[in-house]
Structure 1
Amino acid sequence: MSYLSHLNPPNLHSAVEIVLDTAYQGIDTQGWEKLFAEARQSQLEQFIADLFAGKHINNSEDRPALHSALRNLTKTPILIDGKDVMPAVADVWRRIEALCNKWVGVTDVIHIGIGGSDFGPRLAIEALAHVPGLQSRGMRMHFLANIDTAELARILARAQPHSTRVVIVSKSFTTLETTMNAKAVVAWLKDSGCTQSQITHALYAVTANIHAAKDFGVDEDNIFPFWDWVGGRYSVWSAVGLPIALQYGFETFKQFLAGAEAIDLHFKNAPLEKNLPVIMALSLLYQQEKHHIKAYAAIPYADALDWFPKWLQQLDMESNGKSVDRNGKPVKHSSPVVFGSAGSNAQHSYFQLFHQGTEIIPIDFIAVRDPMSDRPEAVAHHRILLSNCLAQAQALANGKTASNPNDVYPGKRPSNFLLLPKLNAFYLGALLALYENRTATLGALWNINSFDQPGVEYGKVLAKPIEKALASHQSDIQSNAEIDAVTAARINLLNSNYSPS
């Protein structure tokens, strides 16, 4: 019997020409009615209204989560504590456009940032590089995030120091990896014969801590502001997205914002039953309730979106990877583990687990209707790509019986099918905003604050005494209140002259 036999089509939903097909979720009409009732009972509609109204929904840090203001191209007034933020946002747009027109003769841009200061712009630069006909300004765009000097060395081996610009991105301007990498790049510029005046001219910053950026040596005219009501993982829409505008032009950056704004308006105004972020969130919640799922996968059938699952990992797991709710009480559900990579490559990697493993792992299949190149083979190749996407979803849903147990596919493996008409700046922005709003919806349904991340701080605190102990080069470090016995032994191992034979 088909997995769909009990369903009542249609299962198609759309917004801004993006189509969501939930037919393989295995949720019947009564199931959806119950889910929407639960959403209303959790006051989801009020949460959405409060989110866009600038209410302090980030309750632990007593601030709004108003990244939607960064893509509010209509400049409709948005008040935070009685003050309209849009004039300041629009001024940043003006400055980004002016910088795009100003830069001439730049061969390399080194964007230094980590986490939310890196994933969004890196994903956008990679994705838009595949858009047929989109003009690039031809600069080499380098992303420096890891404190591992291998990444630094690889970038500096290619960049031309006298025609390089450096964009340092840190909300606090105290992030250790970012500041150390920035110092290393400044030292490279100096060692390459750049004068202090040339170095100052090359440095730019995106930060909420303007004073710290100036102390570092960035000219105030080269500092783009960042606001505390923008979380790092939601920041690509701000001046953090400078690389997009610099590489592909300010109009392309505006199209990126416009796609996100279109989804925001849909999320804000559509009834729950037609609301794509809400429907996607409820389908995942259903699978948690029914199958107790612990992971889900996002598989974009577009090589241009290979970085998308990495961006999504931070968005979901940093936002909703919590064990207590807004009131400090234990939660029933929180973020599943998120993973994925581009299809059809992924089929030759971990799809065996999807089809025949003991874990049920929901999948978001993401496809693009139009081919992503203008090669003569593009149409035929794209047809095969899409056929693989559809076939995998069908096989996972319906399964297969066989006399040989090794050939049995259990089926009833849920998935969404998300179809973009094309991949350009507009639809890339729409895709990212769709998932941002879905993540916020899940947080509301679980009563989790999706806009803080206290869990990332403790390890940073512990790293400081450990780094000091490593710097001592002593191999007799003893455990104490900050360093436990296992870690002390590992420090001693590293500080010894031990080398495996």
Structure 2
Amino acid sequence: MSSRPMQSPDNLPNSAHTAVDVVLDTAYQNINDAQWSDLFAAARKSKLEEFIADMFAGKHINLSEDRPALHSALRNLSKAPVLLDGKDVMPAVTKVWQRIEALCNKWVGVTDVIHIGIGGSDFGLRLAIEALAHVPEIESRGMQMHFLANIDTAELARILDRAQPNSTRAIIVSKSFTTLETAMNAKAVVAWLKNSGCTQGQIARSLFAVTANVPAAKEFGVEEDNIFPFWDWVGGRYSVWSAVGLPIALQYGFKTFEDFLAGAHAMDLHFKNAPLEQNLPVIMALALLHQQEKRGIKAYAAIPYADALDWFPKWLQQLDMESNGKSVGRDGKPVKHSSPVVFGSAGSNAQHSYFQLFHQGPEVIPIDFIAVRKPMSDRPEAMAHHHILLSNCLAQAQALAHGKSAANPNDVYPGNRPSNLLFLPELNAFYLGALLALYENRAATLGALWNINSFDQPGVEYGKVLAKPIEKALVGGSDQISPTDSIDAVTAARINFLNS
């Protein structure tokens, strides 16, 4: 797998733009030249160019938490200085790369890796591991990678039934090292290792941690040499580029991880330097904004016509809705627009699920079609299957755009349903990195256009606070819980039902 882009395709239509050999075609957005001009003018009026420059310069654009959003530094393979409050962060980032590569070189005899983390410590990594598993002839190093995120013990039991304790390693990933689900699951894995006959020394050598809270990891029992840091200027949903991505290197080799970073870095350079009119993340953001303004859209779908990217919509849901699902702007005032609902799954499976709604439902739902020019298999039938896959992708976009008239109302397709088409030359670590960085930068652009802080997530905290007294009531098993300030009458009745 090369970390260098392929040559750009020729004969692109006028509606297409390319960056890092990723092609974006907006022909079916139904946006004319005058409307595009207005959109770019509005972007400049909102000081988008200054926002992009500030983000890469390490300015504290995360206003509510008074910190930068410097995840781009994690994939800055040029090692050009990136200043945070006057101090270059790249030496610390480079040291983590060196430690990851060193661990890869001595990672032998491991049959199972249990990655313990949730949310931003899980989605991006799981997407990358699953997607790259489909790359023909990729190195897999003969180990099973297990993902333990949910507090539901069904997931835990399934993993522990399959793993071999004496050759298992556990990687605990939590920025704060206080995430409840992660802490409980980590304790359960340690108990399993102990009950399987592993000594305390073996257990200590089996545990690894990725965290910004090194003292807490050491207190848990992780040896200092097995702790990989990341920093408070890295948001969880942007953290796959950090040591959170360690399992990518362990599973597929450090060179693959480096290619993954290289693709993202190349897309960052495009986002940072390209004029707005040629800037893929900006164009995608403005197209979505246009559909909000003109069509009042409340949802959009991402449909990758590549089974390897089936996890992509799940990753994208967190990226977009946790970043931009807010009703208050950076100035504390209500905002006009925020993130639409995001959903999707791999095509052509998705056509047999919810495409009926796309074609004939009353709501307009824009779609990002994502296609890969090369098949993801070296099977003898691969090209024949791939032609069918691509033909379905192109046909769905055409049908949604143009619709169909008919005498029977049941056979009418309204048409004028907007979509983007993204083409990747092939799906490997480089282009996967470029794709993820494209959408990360689009999310940041949308936040800037909506005047939303894309880098905090206060809305996820309140439910966690309320869960604590409810858990206490459930554990206590009391026959009769009365409503309190933190438990309302409906919840009290539900607790009493569960405890009965």
Q: Distance in 2 between matches of 1:159 and 1:476?
A: 42
Which residue of structure 1 lines up, in the alignment, with residue 486 of structure 2? 482
2:284 partner SS: helix
The equivalences for 1:252-401 within 5 A come to 252-401=256-405
The equivalences for 1:6-21 within 5 A come to 10-21=14-25
Deviations along 1:341-371, whole A, 9 cap, x unmatched?
0000000000000000000000000000000
Which residue of structure 1 lines up, in the alignment, with residue 190 of structure 2? 186
1:330 partner SS: coil
Shift of residue 474, structure 1, vs aligned partner: 1.1
Q: Distance in 2 between matches of 1:135 and 1:194?
A: 29
Task: Report which stretch shifted further, 350-359 or 132-141.
Answer: 132-141
1:476 partner SS: coil
2:461 partner SS: helix
Matched, 1:220 2:224: yes
Deviations along 1:43-95, whole A, 9 cap, x unmatched?
00000000000000000000000000000001000000010000000000000
Shift of residue 134, structure 1, vs aligned partner: 1.1
The equivalences for 1:104-143 within 5 A come to 104-143=108-147
Which residue of structure 1 lines up, in the alignment, with residue 10 of structure 2? none
Measured on the aligned residues, the alpha-carbon RMSD in Å equals 0.4
Q: Distance in 1 between matches of 2:421 and 2:218?
A: 48
Which residue of structure 1 lines up, in the alignment, with residue 170 of structure 2? 166
Residue ranges of structure 1 left out of the alignment (5+ in a row): 1-8, 497-501
The one-letter amino acid of 1:250's match is F
Matched, 1:249 2:250: no
Q: Distance in 2 between matches of 1:342 and 1:243?
A: 24
Matched, 1:96 2:100: yes
The one-letter amino acid of 1:196's match is Q
Q: Distance in 2 between matches of 1:68 and 1:202?
A: 31
Q: Distance in 2 between matches of 1:138 and 1:168?
A: 21
Which residue of structure 2 lines up, in the alignment, with residue 408 of structure 1? 412
Shift of residue 408, structure 1, vs aligned partner: 0.2
1:442 to 428, 441, 446: 446
The one-letter amino acid of 1:109's match is V
Matched residue count: 488
Q: Distance in 2 between matches of 1:102 and 1:466?
A: 46
Q: Distance in 2 between matches of 1:460 and 1:196?
A: 33
1:23 to 27, 32, 51: 27
2:238 to 234, 237, 261: 234
Matched, 1:203 2:219: no
Is the 8 Å Cα contact of residues 277 and 435 (structure 1) preserved in structure 2?
A: yes
Which residue of structure 2 lines up, in the alignment, with residue 79 of structure 1? 83
Identity %: 83
Q: Distance in 1 between matches of 2:59 and 2:498?
A: 49
TM-score under structure 2 normalisation? Answer: 0.97
Q: Distance in 2 between matches of 1:359 and 1:137?
A: 47
2:485 partner SS: coil
1:63 to 63, 67, 76: 67
Shift of residue 136, structure 1, vs aligned partner: 1.1
Matched, 1:176 2:180: yes
Which residue of structure 1 lines up, in the alignment, with residue 3 of structure 2? none
Q: Distance in 1 between matches of 2:325 and 2:124?
A: 19
The one-letter amino acid of 2:196's match is S
Which residue of structure 2 lines up, in the alignment, with residue 6 of structure 1? none
Which residue of structure 1 lines up, in the alignment, with residue 437 of structure 2? 433
Residue ranges of structure 2 left out of the alignment (5+ in a row): 1-12
Is the 8 Å Cα contact of residues 272 and 278 (structure 1) preserved in structure 2?
A: yes
Q: Distance in 2 between matches of 1:435 and 1:377?
A: 32
Shift of residue 332, structure 1, vs aligned partner: 0.1
TM-score under structure 1 normalisation? Answer: 0.97
Shift of residue 475, structure 1, vs aligned partner: 2.4
Is the 8 Å Cα contact of residues 475 and 491 (structure 1) preserved in structure 2?
A: no
Deviations along 1:108-162, whole A, 9 cap, x unmatched?
0000000000001100000000001211101100000000000000000000000
Is the 8 Å Cα contact of residues 71 and 260 (structure 1) preserved in structure 2?
A: yes
The one-letter amino acid of 1:328's match is G
Which residue of structure 2 lines up, in the alignment, with residue 459 of structure 1? 463
Q: Distance in 1 between matches of 2:140 and 2:263?
A: 20
2:334 partner SS: coil
Q: Distance in 2 between matches of 1:302 and 1:341?
A: 10
Which residue of structure 2 lines up, in the alignment, with residue 4 of structure 1? none
